């Protein structure tokens, strides 16, 4: 089945919502308690975890402007339990948010950022749970530069991988890849390629014993690189085929696995496309969507359910696309998803 998370807006508040579907076409809505929006979801068997954030319309008397959302289900999304997120001890209780979640064989890991009162800046934090009731803090990632956060969270076997961005007032935003295994006292730094411009986005997928990362770099025009990362902390650049009929304008947005082989989705010449791979080479891009003002943001695939993609219409509304073969796509409601997964 499919699960999607997001929010419904009723002025002046947003409310967390979950949708489930057995076929990617018909959806059932579940209202979760409280206010806010959900930005990530992960599934393992019957167990699901969704994460998000609630921004308060007014700062409280104690200075709180927002807080993290953490929901879990042991009933395939039919019912949900909310957990209060405990921030690190140096939190200023100003704000925190969770936007990353991953399921492993034995536990779930969630990640996000919080306001560090001691340093007066933002830092990443991660928590883990094996029973979905008790959540424990993982070792804190290194404090890189003046401010840092999480762009991506992945799991390679027993190894947890994070892509951490960091910024300072005097230089461009930088990115680091950190790895952690159970029992480690801290995080191990991978040898990321040197970049002269800021990194704005990073998305990844795990394929076997390595991760494939799509890293968007702020340049003119904006460019995207693909990196592979293994558990030995080796990072290698990967090249994608570009269209030959016109000047190159290729921007991969994300990565998925199709029958164990990596695939990439993004835009080429302003059209949303899908690249397939046989493990040795990448195919020419196949068109997914080419309507003006619309763009595909995320995509996923399963053998039983096919392809599911979410995107934006004029940056105001979301849409959902479903395809059995990656060639013929049809649009399905609703239009308010932020993230999708399959279970």
pLDDT per residue as tens digits for the range 258-291: 988 999 998 887 789 999 987 778 888 899 988 7
d(CA 80, CA 147): 34
DSSP of 264-328:
EEEEETTEEEEE-B-SS-BPPPEEEE--TTEEEEEEEEETTTEEEEEEEETTTEEEEEEESSSSS
Q: What element of type H or E holds 213?
A: strand 210-217
Question: Is the pLDDT higher at 34 or at 142?
Answer: 34
For residues 321 and 288, the answer to whether their CB atoms sit within 8 Å is yes
SS3 225: strand
Report the pLDDT value the prediction gives residue 82, as an integer from 0 to 100.
Answer: 96
**Whole-structure pTM value:** 0.73
Report the pLDDT value the prediction gives residue 336, as an integer from 0 to 100.
Answer: 58
DSSP of 144-169:
-SSEEEEEEEEEETTEEEEEEEEEET
Report the pLDDT value the prediction gives residue 54, as an integer from 0 to 100.
Answer: 93
pLDDT per residue as tens digits for the range 196-254: 777 788 889 998 899 999 888 877 667 788 899 999 899 998 876 665 655 557 788 88
Report the pLDDT value the prediction gives residue 215, as an integer from 0 to 100.
Answer: 87
Q: Which two tokens stand for residue 330?
A: 């049809």
DSSP character for 63?
Answer: -
pLDDT per residue as tens digits for the range 44-60: 999 999 999 998 877 77
pLDDT per residue as tens digits for the range 307-343: 999 887 765 667 889 999 999 998 876 555 666 666 6
d(CA 39, CA 6): 6
């Amino acid at each position: 089945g499919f699960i999607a998370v997001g929010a419904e807006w009723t002025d002046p508040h947003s409310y967390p919502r979950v949708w489930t579907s057995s076929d990617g076409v018909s959806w059932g809505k579940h209202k979760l308690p409280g206010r806010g929006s959900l930005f990530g979801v992960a599934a393992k068997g019957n167990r699901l975890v969704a994460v998000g954030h609630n921004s308060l319309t007014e700062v409280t008397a104690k200075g709180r402007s927002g807080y993290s959302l953490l929901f879990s289900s042991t009933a395939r999304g039919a019912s949900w339990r909310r957990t209060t997120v405990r921030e690190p001890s140096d939190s200023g209780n100003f704000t925190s948010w969770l936007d990353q979640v991953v399921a492993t064989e034995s536990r779930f890991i969630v990640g996000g950022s919080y306001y560090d009162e001691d340093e007066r800046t933002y830092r990443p934090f991660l928590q883990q749970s094996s029973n979905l009731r008790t959540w424990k803090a993982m070792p804190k990632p290194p404090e890189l530069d003046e401010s840092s956060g999480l762009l991506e969270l992945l799991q390679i076997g027993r190894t947890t991988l994070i892509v951490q961005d960091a910024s300072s007032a005097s230089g461009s935003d930088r990115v680091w890849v950190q790895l952690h295994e159970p029992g480690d006292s801290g995080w191990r730094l991978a040898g990321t390629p040197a970049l002269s411009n800021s990194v704005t986005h990073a998305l990844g997928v795990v394929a076997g014993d390595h991760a494939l990362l799509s890293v968007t770099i702020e340049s003119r025009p904006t460019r995207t690189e693909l990196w592979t990362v293994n558990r030995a902390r080796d990072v290698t650049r990967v090249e994608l085929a570009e269209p030959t009929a016109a000047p190159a304008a290729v921007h991969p947005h994300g990565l998925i696995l199709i029958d164990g082989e990596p695939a990439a989705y993004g835009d080429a010449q302003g059209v949303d496309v899908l690249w397939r791979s046989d493990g040795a080479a990448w195919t020419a891009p196949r068109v997914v969507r080419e309507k003006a003002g619309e763009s595909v943001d995320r995509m996923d695939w399963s053998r039983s359910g096919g392809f599911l993609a979410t995107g934006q219409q004029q940056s105001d509304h979301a849409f959902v696309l479903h395809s059995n073969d990656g060639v013929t796509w049809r649009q399905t409601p609703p239009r308010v998803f932020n993230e999708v997964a399959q279970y």
